Amino acid sequence: MIVTFPPDSVMMNESFDPIAAGQEYMENFPGLAEKFEVDNPGMHRTDSVDYDILLDGELWLELDDGKEVHLKPYDTVIQNGTRHAWRNKSDKPATIAFVLIGAERE
């Protein structure tokens, strides 16, 4: 799937409607949207091996331990069921391609 993340400031704006955004997520990403943590916005873990390629813009990958990795176009991340969140701290949208391959936890 290809996702464009708006700048984080968009979601901090008083006009942002989190309920509508949540409904859009549920419609467009069934099975994935339910993985997001209510108490830690953006944090989630999937039962998959993920290949992520940043196509445009900048993103920060926040990991379970709080560490953040700054990504620029064409940077690639491979994850294996890691708890994480995507943050766009820039002032421009960022587009990333995700390939998720289902996996089982042991």
Confidence of residue 28 (pLDDT cuts 50, 70, 90): confident
Confidence of residue 1 (pLDDT cuts 50, 70, 90): confident
Domain that holds residue 52: 2-102
Distance CA 44, CA 30 (A): 14
Residue 105, pLDDT score? 73
* pLDDT surpassing 90 at residue 41: no
Query: How many structural domains are present in the chain?
Result: 1
Confidence of residue 96 (pLDDT cuts 50, 70, 90): very high
Sign of CA dihedral 26, 32, 34, 39: negative
Residue 48, pLDDT score? 87
CATH of the domain at 78: 2.60.120.10
Q: Which residue has the higher pLDDT, 68 or 39?
A: 68
